[in-house]
């Protein structure tokens, strides 16, 4: 039984991750701003500890970590997944909005990592999971603030991992790169678009992401995991032909992130205040796109079983070589 901290646990991927840890009997601390969502999540997870926390403030994160260890015991796993964003062209995002997104979606990870690492290093054990995105490598239009934060997390995590390896530390850090996920973010994020925001297909259910994140927490020696064929395809294309991908996304990325449904661009979203407090209800883990979202990903299994695939590939090659030799004889 592990002591696990999940940031952003009131909704979306964080909610699904917390449920999965709780279902296997772990002691889960739930960190988020929205108390209605936190209370609902706590009601789903026996023995969990909800702690209202704005991850953009280090003192709140540090206080939450101290409270977790006082109530549940030493932290074994810390999962950073809390974020916020603004859907808009760069020129329409104010400096204060950009700063707020960066403080939540990047510095929130830095603060969570610091609070966890301070405690884990003294014990020489523990795992920190950074929940990333294909957008940690590939920027897309209308999401400059979010893409910038995810790129920053990628660089931060790589540098930290090198330091831990240099120190021969028993603490592990790994990153999970996600595809488009059916979460409530498209209902609660700040958007200056005139049409309702949507994820870029293919879309996956948050439970697909949660299974991958919990697996990564249990197997943190890998530097990162990719979730979904779209993530693998996007990262491969970006490595091979990033310029062509720039032009493709310039043509398709703006319309592809909007539905035909109208949206009020004056809606402030959850950037400054939690959406469940403003709108008075629990959003849960799923968004509005259940009818389009996939509940499984073969690529996730493949990402977690490289050894099996390599062995199968070697066996297939040996069989093929044998057949060719027999035909020649």
SS3 324: helix
Q: pLDDT-based confidence at 317, cuts 50/70/90?
A: very low
CATH number at residue 195: 3.40.50.720
Pairing of strands 3-7, 27-32: parallel
Q: Is pTM, for the whole model, over 0.85? A: yes
Task: Tell me the per-residue pLDDT of 100-120, one tens digit each, with 9 for 90 and over.
Answer: 999 999 999 999 999 999 999
* Predicted local confidence at residue 190, as pLDDT: 95
Residue 315 lies in a domain: no
Q: What does 81-132 look like in DSSP terms, one character per residue?
A: -----EES-GGGS-HHHHHHHHIIIIIHHHHHHHHHHHHHHHHT-EEEEEEE
Residue 223 lies in a domain: yes
Domain limits for position 155: 3-296
Residue 197 lies in a domain: yes
N-terminal to C-terminal alpha carbon distance within the chain: 59
**Total domains in the fold of the chain:** 1
Residue 243 CA to residue 26 CA, distance in Å, equals 45
Residue 179 lies in a domain: yes
Catalytic residue, from 106, 146, 215, 225: name it.
Answer: 146
Whether 146 sits among the annotated catalytic residues: the reply is yes
Task: Tell me the per-residue pLDDT of 86-98, one tens digit each, with 9 for 90 and over.
Answer: 999 999 999 999 9
Residue 323 lies in a domain: no
Task: Tell me the per-residue pLDDT of 211-261, one tens digit each, with 9 for 90 and over.
Answer: 999 999 999 999 999 999 999 999 999 999 999 999 999 999 999 999 999
Q: Work out the burial of residue 307: count CB atoms within 10 Å of its CB; fewer than 13 is exposed, 13-18 middle, 19 or more buried.
A: exposed
Q: pLDDT-based confidence at 298, cuts 50/70/90?
A: confident
Task: Tell me the per-residue pLDDT of 43-91, one tens digit each, with 9 for 90 and over.
Answer: 999 999 999 999 999 999 999 999 999 999 999 999 999 999 999 999 9
Least trusted range by pLDDT, from 167-181, 274-288, 292-306: 292-306
Residue 46 lies in a domain: yes
């Amino acid at each position: 039984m592990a002591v696990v901290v999940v940031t952003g646990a009131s909704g979306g991927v964080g909610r699904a991750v917390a449920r999965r840890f709780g279902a296997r009997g772990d002691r889960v601390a739930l960190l988020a701003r929205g108390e209605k969502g936190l209370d609902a999540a706590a009601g789903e997870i026996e023995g969990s500890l909800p702690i209202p926390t704005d991850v953009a403030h280090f003192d709140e994160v540090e206080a939450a970590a101290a409270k977790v260890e006082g109530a549940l015991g030493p932290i074994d796993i810390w999962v950073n997944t809390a974020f916020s964003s603004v859907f808009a062209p760069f020129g329409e995002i104010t400096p204060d909005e950009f700063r707020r997104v960066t403080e939540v979606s990047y510095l929130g990870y830095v603060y969570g990592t610091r609070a966890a690492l301070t405690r884990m290093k003294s014990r020489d054990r523990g795992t920190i999971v950074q929940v990333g995105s294909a957008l940690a490598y590939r920027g897309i239009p209308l999401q400059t603030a979010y893409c910038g934060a995810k790129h920053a997390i990628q660089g931060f995590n790589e540098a930290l991992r090198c330091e831990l390896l240099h120190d021969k530390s028993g603490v592990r850090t790994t990153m999970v790169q996600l595809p488009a996920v059916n979460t409530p973010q498209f209902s609660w994020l700040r958007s200056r678009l005139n049409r309702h925001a949507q994820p870029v297909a293919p879309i996956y259910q948050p439970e697909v992401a949660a299974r991958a994140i919990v697996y990564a927490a249990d197997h943190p020696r890998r530097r990162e995991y990719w979730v979904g064929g779209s993530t693998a395809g996007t990262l491969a294309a970006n490595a091979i032909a990033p310029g062509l991908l720039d032009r493709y996304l310039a043509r398709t990325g703006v319309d592809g992130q909007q539905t035909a449904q109208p949206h009020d661009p004056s809606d402030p979203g959850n950037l400054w205040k939690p959406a469940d407090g403003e709108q008075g209800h629990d959003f849960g883990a799923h968004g509005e796109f259940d009818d389009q979202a996939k509940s499984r990903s073969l690529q996730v299994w493949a990402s977690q079983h490289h050894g099996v695939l390599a062995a199968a590939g070697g066996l297939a090659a040996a069989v093929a070589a044998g057949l060719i030799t027999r035909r020649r004889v």
